[in-house]
Amino acid sequence: MRRIIQFEPDAKFCLNPNFVLGVQQLSEFDMNFDLCIKGDEQFRHTLNLVSQCPEVLCILGHIGKPFIKEKIIEPWATYLKELSGMPDTWCKISGLVNEANWENWTPDDLQPYINHMIESFGFDRIMFGGDWPVCTLATTYQCWIETLWKAVSGCSTEQVQKLFSANAEKFYRV
């Protein structure tokens, strides 16, 4: 189940008691929850939501949409680390190029965010997301894949397999 929260004007939207109850009930149906958020306030409240839903596997989409274009890493990095401490949370690496400067981003702009995600979640709770066709606003799909491939080029074959396929199969039970 996915709910795009990022466009909600109220940063506390995800803490509405009915919304929290709905997310909690996903566990009764053996369903996971994909979080799509944007901004520090939404991230802070998402931590509260996830803490109220310990029986539900949750995955943070687009690694929480950090402010890459502005080169701002805090408080996103602190929130991501806190989220990673919740054992039933995962992180999807997707959409990074869309958070960078569309016209002149470089792989180096993305690397600190990728590194922090890997350091926070490890390779057992992260997965690749293509974000196609949205990623084509900032780059080609092929370039996005090559950028991520280069970013993890120093990782083991097992780690890369987890990132690009095995973890998605496990999380989504396919």
Q: Model's pTM, two decimal places?
A: 0.94
Q: At CA 83, angle to CA 54 and CA 157, rounded to 5? A: 105
pLDDT of residue 135: 93
What digits encode the pLDDT tens for the residues 44-91?
999 999 999 999 999 999 999 999 999 999 999 999 999 999 999 999
What digits encode the pLDDT tens for the residues 16-53?
999 999 999 999 999 999 999 999 999 999 999 999 99
What digits encode the pLDDT tens for the residues 115-133?
999 999 999 999 999 999 9
Counting the structural domains of the chain, the total is: 1
CATH of the domain at 141: 3.20.20.140
The DSSP annotation for 158-171 comes to HHHHIIIIIHHHHH
Report how far residue 83's alpha carbon sits from residue 50's, in angstroms, rounded to the nearest whole number.
8
Parent domain of 112: 2-172
pLDDT of residue 124: 98
Tokens 């506390």 — which residue? Answer: 12
What digits encode the pLDDT tens for the residues 121-170?
999 999 999 999 999 999 999 999 999 999 999 999 999 999 999 999 99
Q: Are 134 and 99 in contact, with CB atoms under 8 Å apart?
A: no
Q: Are 168 and 128 in contact, with CB atoms under 8 Å apart?
A: yes
- Report, in angstroms and rounded to the nearest whole number, the Rg of the chain calculated over CA atoms: 15
What average pLDDT does the segment 90-101 reach?
96
pLDDT of residue 111: 97
Q: Are 45 and 16 in contact, with CB atoms under 8 Å apart?
A: no
Q: How confident is the model at residue 112 (pLDDT cuts 50, 70, 90)?
A: very high
